[in-house]
Structure 1
């Protein structure tokens, strides 16, 4: 089936699972626009797999030997029932059905790939992480903190001189990490739809487009222009602007470009299968809040750094026990449901996570971690169960993958998996 004539959405993804015809690729690239990238469209799906054709980019280089994770398919996942509200889907059907928007799903348990499907992409394709990239920034900050180069209880202006005289000046790094700055930067459908909002202005500058006033700002100008809304530490107000500020702090402290920091501190130390990419704004800023692009298995390997199987992919422990404990305890539960994202995740998980912290959207009472990305990306890590669930998509399933990943972790923990 031709990609150009296939139906949009799920059928379209199945039609292009083995790659795009040349004519279709040219047309989809020509049809690309920022709104199509931010919504579920065929042009958006094409650019998710070909990020460098839509944004300038820098390469995040790998090095050393490739770690080949063993494959041992867990047959119980084929029929494992996932319940959500009044719906039930088998895990494998949820991933592979014709109506599924999922492009790739991987489950890694104790260092083995126990489930792997690519219904809408090829295993070697690089796919954009969207906001799954945010914990990369928090890991780099945590590493710098352990080295004594960063103090998360100091303020932004201590590291970024350009923040002096702006609303960012006195915000503590811990409040940036936990997305509770009190600035007028919350990200959600309402803010994206309002061209005058601070967040919309930030996004327009990121793409090199004029804002609602016709002004063409640099990415940093739009970021630093965000104003104060209320005191920090009051609510979980999700925003990619927080992560972008972390990127400026990382570059200021290391004196290196973000792509090189990620390569040297993470990508080259893990047995990744391929180089990754990171999108750049017109002024050259690496868009650390979402535009990392890699193979699915390499995103899963990043998740493994937070599990006991970290040694399967890295000779050096990159997420220390102290770092993991900080992530699991640093959030403020009282703030979680104040804002856009907390109530949404309460509905998707059918439970209230303990808190958010260090750029992770949900930290559960059992220590599990979840990070989601726009339009169907996800990374779920269960340190105690030595489990990672990673997925790419172009939309959302009738039974959310968030609920499915949590159910798989609970099944492994309870021993239910072994009974199937």
Structure 2
């Protein structure tokens, strides 16, 4: 047989083999991507079904796109050569980070040091192209959006909620200044107890249509435009920090009223397009059309890291000042809260500012945090961004040695390794 014929024959066989492999791989991927049985309005938030649900939010709940626009995605340096595993000190001995991720229900982890990606790994059903629910990391993005709107003079942080949204005048937030709203020092009687079915945060889930089932008995599905004005006031609470998800939704309503734009479109125009996002993000929408700024955003791991880089670089992305430098400096330079209501790590003075958690380590480290294990850790002194997207079985952990405290230990272990 002539050499050209042999070559053609081998090439054809190779193509057939490659095609068969591609079909087989596609079939495996399709099986892995199937909606798991039993996933419904009562079960999607919790393990083990949440691991699939958090990466398929547009199939679980109505969502509005946060468009990335047409600009070329802004590259993350060294992403193509970042390690997908490394050894860290864990529980007193060297342990593979991939193993710790599985133990901690981490679906995606991206670490950037000195402007370069040093680690990127995916687990569960998360992929580089697939979005993941951010829960309350959404709040930090809401705060950055508010910073942009305020910089353009469209809101005045010394004015009250009622000044912008008359429908909230008689609510728990009506007389509060926007500055206090951003810091969750408002006077609403909001209760953030995730374990209590009758808490405000769980009744909001039911009213929004985010949660269904027996725990929602007696709560009409009305949406936030009806639910939020009915939340009462606790005047003695005004001026003291207490974590309240509804407060972020109130700020989103203010931003819509002040600009005449839907909240998702504001995030797209003022943040997502300007950080050079790689993919569209999304945000869940309730029955009344309210976009859930307090916890409904879903985005890719890499684009969430771009938000972290925006904060690390004091509001600059590329050559553009996206958020005022003064806003970021205000976040990272605070002395700490004198009335901190939670436990604090030894030697730290935590605080909460503009929908961002201040670690209070004296190094300017700040975090965006969400239930079920979502995190952006920004450490200016170490020039580091660490992003974790997770699917803890319940809001606060739900498994042995899984939760916020262990997550912070993991952050420190990663920092120690890359330093």
Q: How does 1:267-282 map to 2 (within 5 A)?
A: 267-282=272-287
Q: How does 1:40-59 map to 2 (within 5 A)?
A: 40-41=47-48, 43-59=49-65
1:3 counterpart residue number = none
Give distance in 2, aligned partners of 1:25 and 1:55: 17
Q: How does 1:171-190 map to 2 (within 5 A)?
A: 171-190=176-195
**TM-aligned CA distance change 1:221 to 1:335, over 3 Å:** farther
2:407 counterpart residue number = 401
SS of the residue corresponding to residue 80 of structure 1 reads strand
1:13 counterpart residue number = none
**TM-aligned CA distance change 1:316 to 1:283, over 3 Å:** same
Kept in 2: contact 1:331–1:356 (CA 8 A): no
**TM-aligned CA distance change 1:263 to 1:202, over 3 Å:** same
Kept in 2: contact 1:65–1:271 (CA 8 A): yes
**TM-aligned CA distance change 1:310 to 1:357, over 3 Å:** closer
**TM-aligned CA distance change 1:229 to 1:321, over 3 Å:** same
Which deviates more from structure 2 when the two are superposed, residues 202-211 or residues 172-181? 202-211
Q: How does 1:5-404 map to 2 (within 5 A)?
A: 22=30, 26-28=34-36, 31-41=38-48, 43-63=49-69, 64-71=71-78, 78-82=86-90, 87-88=91-92, 90=94, 92-93=96-97, 98-120=102-124, 121-190=126-195, 193-195=196-198, 197-207=199-209, 212-308=217-313, 313-328=317-332, 333-336=337-340, 338=341, 342-343=342-343, 346=344, 352-364=348-360, 365-395=362-392, 396=397, 398=402, 400-404=406-410
Equivalent pairs counted in the alignment come to 379
Kept in 2: contact 1:77–1:91 (CA 8 A): no
Kept in 2: contact 1:37–1:47 (CA 8 A): yes
Please say which structure displays the higher CA radius of gyration.
2
Q: Deviations over 1:278-320 (max 9, x none)?
A: 1111111111111111110100001100123865x43312232
SS of the residue corresponding to residue 378 of structure 1 reads strand
Give distance in 2, aligned partners of 1:77 and 1:278: 31
Give distance in 2, aligned partners of 1:151 and 1:204: 33
Gaps of 5+ in 2: 1-25
Indicate the RMSD between aligned Cα atoms, in angstroms.
Answer: 3.0
Give distance in 1, aligned partners of 2:160 and 2:154: 13
Structure 1 residue 89 displacement after superposition = 5.9
Give distance in 2, aligned partners of 1:89 and 1:145: 48
Structure 1 residue 386 displacement after superposition = 2.2
Using the size of structure 1 for normalisation, the TM-score is 0.81
Q: Deviations over 1:243-271 (max 9, x none)?
A: 11111011111110111111111111122
Q: Deviations over 1:84-141 (max 9, x none)?
A: xxx3465743655653411110001222101111132222211111111111111111
**TM-aligned CA distance change 1:274 to 1:75, over 3 Å:** closer
Give distance in 2, aligned partners of 1:149 and 1:259: 17
Q: Deviations over 1:319-370 (max 9, x none)?
A: 322001222356861222x2xxx33xx3xx5654431111113342321101
Which deviates more from structure 2 when the two are superposed, residues 288-297 or residues 357-366? 357-366
Gaps of 5+ in 1: 1-17
Kept in 2: contact 1:202–1:219 (CA 8 A): yes
SS of the residue corresponding to residue 115 of structure 1 reads strand
1:6 counterpart residue number = none
Give distance in 2, aligned partners of 1:355 and 1:134: 15
Give distance in 1, aligned partners of 2:314 and 2:99: 25
Structure 1 residue 172 displacement after superposition = 1.6
